[in-house]
Amino acid sequence: MEDGRAANNWAGMTLDPERGILYVPTGSAVFDFYGGDRVGNDLYANCLLALNARTGERIWHFQGVHHDIWDRDFPAAPVLITVQRNGKDIDAVAQTTKQGFVYVFDRTNGTPLFPVENRKYRQARCPVKLPPRNSPFPRVPRRSRGSY
Please list, in sequence order, all residues whose beta carbon lies within 8 angstroms of the beta carbon of residue 94, skipping any fewer than 6 positions away.
78, 79, 81, 102, 103, 104, 105
Which helix (DSSP H) or strand (DSSP E) does residue 84 occupy?
strand 79-85
**Residues annotated as catalytic (active site), given as ranges:** 71
Residues β-bridged to residue 57:
none
Q: Cα–Cα distance between 28 and 24 in angstroms, integer?
A: 13
Instruction: Name the 3-class secondary structure at 147.
Output: helix
